[in-house]
Amino acid sequence: MRSVMFAILVLMPLSACGNAKEADKADALASQESAAPAAKKAEAGVVDTSQAGTPAPTQAFAREDGSKVTLADFHGKPVLVNLWATWCAPCIAEMPALDRLAKAKAGEMAVIGISQDLQGWGKVKPFLAKAKLQHMTILLDEEGALATTLGAPGLPFTVLYDAKGKEIWRVNGPREWDQPGGFPETAAPGPTVHFHAVGQEPGWTMDIATGRDVEVIADYGSKTATFKAPARLALEGTSSFSAAQGKSSLAVSIVRKRCEDAMSGKPYAYAVTMTLDGKRYEGCGETL
C-alpha cells in the first residue's frame, strides 16, 4: 500500500504541494511504475458535490498513543476530514484556520487532520509540538491508502461527512476555513432516489441514482452514456437538471403527472423529457 501512496504523491499537482523532502521524492519516483492511474485534476478550492452520499472509508487510523480509530467512531455529528502532510506548505498554512474552525464548531462537528506522512509519527510529532494545535484531532494514515481511496488529486484535500458518515462535499486545495464563507454551509444531500424512465420511438431508457450516476441507453441501444447525477432530485411538481461528460450533454425534466407507456400501456407516475446531445426524447418514469 505504501508504494501506491508514494506514487500518488508524485502525481499530485505541483502547484499544491511541491515542497516534499528530496528523500521522499526519490522514494516516490522509485515507486511510480506501480502507481494507480492519476485522479482527474480538480479545480483548487472549489466545492465538489459529485460524490455526495458516498459512505466514508472504513479503514483504521492511528492516534499518537498507538490506539486505532475509524471515522465511524465519530458518527453522531458531522466530521470534516483534512488530508495533509508536514512537507505540504499549503497544508501547513491552512492548519491554524482549521484548528480555529474546530474551536468554533466544538460540539457540533469534529475536525480531523489525517497525516499522509510516510515516515509516520516520527515525522509528525515534532511538527505538532511546534504547531500547538489545540482543538482539531490529528490521526495518522499508517497504510498510506486514504488519498488513493478518496481519489485525492493533491494535498490538502478535505471532505465533509454528515452525522451518518455520508459524504456531503469535498474540496481539493486550501481554503480560509475560519473566515466568512470559508466553510461551505452546503446542505446535506437528500435521501438516495432511484428513478427509472423509458420511452418509445426511438426506444430509450434512463436510470438515475441521486448522488451517483445517470445511465442512458438511447436509439434502441446505439447510444449509451453515463453522467454524474444530482445530489438531490425533488419529485414533487417539476424537477429538472443538466449534466455533461466529455463531449456528451444531458438535460432532464421530470413532471409528476400520470403517463402511460405507448407500447406496453403500463401507467407511470411521472412524465419525462430527456435531451441527449441535442436530441429530444419523451417517455414515462417511476421510482424504484
- 52: helix, strand or coil: coil
Which pLDDT score, from 0 to 100, does residue 17 have?
A: 62
Which pLDDT score, from 0 to 100, does residue 271 have?
A: 97
Q: Which ranges of 117-201 does DSSP label H, i.e. alpha helix?
A: 121-131, 146-150
Which pLDDT score, from 0 to 100, does residue 189 have?
A: 56
Which pLDDT score, from 0 to 100, does residue 238 have?
A: 87
Which pLDDT score, from 0 to 100, does residue 43 have?
A: 53
Among residues 145, 139, 119, which one has the least CA distance to residue 8? Answer: 145
Among residues 18, 50, 57, 48, which one has the least CA distance to residue 175? Answer: 48
Which pLDDT score, from 0 to 100, does residue 5 have?
A: 41
Which pLDDT score, from 0 to 100, does residue 187 have?
A: 52
Which pLDDT score, from 0 to 100, does residue 2 have?
A: 43
- pTM attached to this predicted model: 0.57
**Cβ contact 155:91 at 8 Å:** yes
Q: Which ranges of the chain does DSSP label H, i.e. alpha helix?
A: 2-11, 22-31, 89-104, 121-131, 146-150
Which pLDDT score, from 0 to 100, does residue 37 have?
A: 31
**Cβ contact 110:47 at 8 Å:** no
* pLDDT, mean of each 10-residue run, the chain (288 residues): 40 42 35 30 70 90 96 94 97 96 94 96 95 96 92 95 91 92 70 91 94 93 92 83 88 95 93 96 96
| Domain 2-29+42-172, second-level architecture | 3-Layer(aba) Sandwich (3.40)
Give the span between the Cα atoms of 138 and 115, in whole angstroms.
Answer: 7
**Cβ contact 10:32 at 8 Å:** yes
Which pLDDT score, from 0 to 100, does residue 82 have?
A: 98
